[in-house]
Amino acid sequence: MLDILYNRRSTRKFLNQKIEEEKIKKLLIAALLAPSSRGLRPWEFIVVDDPSLLEKLAISKPHGSLLLNHASLAIIIAGDKTKSDVWIEDCSIATIFIQLEAEALGLGSCWVQINRRYYNDDITANEYIHEQFNIPERLEVLSIVGIGYKAAETPPLTDLDVDWDKVSFNKFGSLYVKE
Ligand SMILES: Cc1cc2nc3c(=O)[nH]c(=O)nc-3n(C[C@H](O)[C@H](O)[C@H](O)COP(=O)(O)O)c2cc1C
């Protein structure tokens, strides 16, 4: 597991190579096995591989979504706000499960934030995606994961990224220092 965590880096440049059906299925199994508050599983996933739809997703917001133009696949993660008051937490866990399974399958991925982001001055990124994909009102789009074969390797995280200063022991500020 730690190998996957060290190696997972955000990938924003992808090869023009299709992802095998079996791998797509495994990405979705990972999402559907994620834990959720009270086991309510308040999520919905929309799998997108049509290049014209990926282009639409790529302009969901002014910055940080263009990578979807080059991805082979995008998974939209939406939460049902009528089912759970903690849909954001539940959908975040499902999002990262997809990213970790992508790494395990030798794929690159990147989280594209949609919740609380704007398409333009007038409408939110969530509203824009609702319109494009005919999504029911009860759902809120949290994120999109762009996925594909990596066009370049980003160096993995190292032990220098393991910031032990962020960890206290028994009381706040009493550092848990590990060499
Ligand atoms: C909640 C969240 C939102 C993010 N939103 C975006 C985004 O909209 N666009 C993007 O290119 N990267 C996005 N990222 C990726 C981060 O920029 C990236 O994880 C961070 O810079 C650390 O780099 P690494 O993933 O390579 O370790 C997001 C990551 C998280 C966890």
Token pair, residue 69, equals 């133009």
Token pair, residue 119, equals 């398409």
Q: Ligand 1, from 113, 145, 154: best to mutate by most atoms within 8 Å of Cβ?
A: 113
The CA 51 to ligand 1 mean position distance, Å, reads 22
What is the pLDDT, as a whole number, of residue 11? 98
The span from the CA of 162 to the CA of 130, in Å, is: 38
Token pair, residue 102, equals 């992508």
Give me the percent of the chain exceeding a pLDDT of 90. Answer: 96
- Res 179 pLDDT > 60: no
**Which superfamily is assigned to 2-175 in CATH?**
NADH Oxidase (3.40.109.10)
Segment 29-67, tens digit of pLDDT: 999 999 999 999 999 999 999 999 999 999 999 999 999
Decide: 10 in ligand 1 pocket, CB within 6 A.
yes
Average pLDDT over residues 134-157: 98
Average pLDDT over residues 168-177: 88
- Taking the alpha carbons at both ends of the chain, their separation in whole angstroms is 21
Strands annotated E in 20-167: 43-48, 73-80, 108-113, 139-148
The span from the CA of 27 to the CA of 141, in Å, is: 18
What is the pLDDT, as a whole number, of residue 57? 98
The CA 92 to ligand 1 mean position distance, Å, reads 12
What's the chain's average pLDDT?
A: 97
Query: Could you tell me the residue ranges of all domains in the chain?
Result: 2-175
Is-contact 11 154, C-beta < 8 A?
A: yes
Segment 73-93, tens digit of pLDDT: 999 999 999 999 999 999 999
- Could you give the 3-state DSSP secondary structure of residue 32? helix
Decide: 111 in ligand 1 pocket, CB within 6 A.
yes
The CA 102 to ligand 1 mean position distance, Å, reads 15
